[in-house]
Amino acid sequence: MFCACRQKGFTLIEIMMAMTLLSLMMVLLFGALRISAQSWEVGEGKVAQVSETAMVYQFFRRHLAIAQPLWHDFSEDEERAFSFRGTAESVQFVSPLPASAARPGLQVFTVYLQQENGNNALKVSIKPFFPSSDEQAWQDEDVVILTHVSLFQMSYFESDPLSESGGWQQEWVDRETLPSLIKIRIARDNELYWPDMVIPVKLSAAESYAGFSADSEGDIR
């Protein structure tokens, strides 16, 4: 007796269904990879933004907060001037660099906004406060601390209750004391929000406390 055995296999419809399911799986896989890549890029952008914000804040907190109330009176030819000078667009102050720095000691910091290659950059110029001798002459340095800046605005708080111009000021020029607080407002070209930075000046607060204590002792006496 002859037995005819039929060979088993996949039909055309089954193959087409398998190919369709495989295509859908590939589309879903690449879609998930694309979403993951976009999330990674957004996360990296957020980390970079936080890092830039922290770096700029640390710069002002480390140097501007310990500004020194000193005078420029090294030469008879130059007019005696107070070391701190602030406008709405720039600020100049004297602050020390740590001993571990390449150029330690008191330095004159000037922070300002300058256009470079079509973009506004926040820069700081650093030069020695004391006149350098011929044996050791430090060169001025200009360092970019932030790029793509659309707004850089400074304001200064005067805490003297006897002054008629107390409160926040747009300029701190021709003064003989330091402001109590300094507010810094920065905006970027990418429209990312930067919170205002308020830096307390330590020596100004100490001087105000000392003056208050002296007045109080005078009243008691």
Three state DSSP letters for 21-72:
HHHHHHHHHHHHHHHHHHHHHHHHHHHHHHHHHHHHHHHHHHHHHHCCCCEE
- Asked if residue 33 belongs to a domain, the reply is no
- The answer to whether residue 106 is domain-embedded is yes
What does the alpha-carbon distance between residue 81 and residue 148 come to, in Å, rounded to a whole number? 33
Tell whether 48 is covered by a domain: no
- Give residue 200's pLDDT: 93
CA atoms within 13 A on the CB side of 13: 0
Average pLDDT, the chain: 77
Domain count, the chain: 1
- Residue 13: the pLDDT is 78
Q: How far is CA 177 from CA 106, 173, 207, 210, in A?
A: 18, 10, 9, 13
User: Is residue 9 assigned to a domain?
Assistant: no
Residues 6+ apart with CB under 8 A from 65: 199, 200, 201, 202
Query: 40 lies in a domain?
Result: no
**Domain annotation covers residue 22:** no
Query: Using one digit for the tens of pLDDT, what is the confidence trace for 74-91?
Result: 656 667 889 999 999 999
Instruction: Name the amino acid, one letter, at 205.
Output: A
**What pLDDT band is residue 60 in, cutting at 50, 70 and 90?**
very high
Rounded to an integer, the average pLDDT of 101-121 is: 86
Residues in the chain: 221
pLDDT in tens, 116-170: 778 899 999 998 888 665 545 566 788 888 888 999 999 999 876 666 666 899 9
Please give the helix or strand (H or E) that residue 154 lies within, else none. Answer: strand 149-158
Residue 215: its pLDDT value, please?
41
> Does residue 164 lie within any of the structural domains?
yes
Q: What average pLDDT does range 174-193 have in this prediction? A: 87
- Within a domain: 89: yes
Mean of pLDDT values over 207-212:
44
Residue 140: give the domain boundaries: 56-220
| Alpha-carbon separation of residue 18 from 9, 12, 25, 26 (angstroms) | 14, 10, 11, 12
pLDDT in tens, 20-38: 888 778 877 777 777 766 6
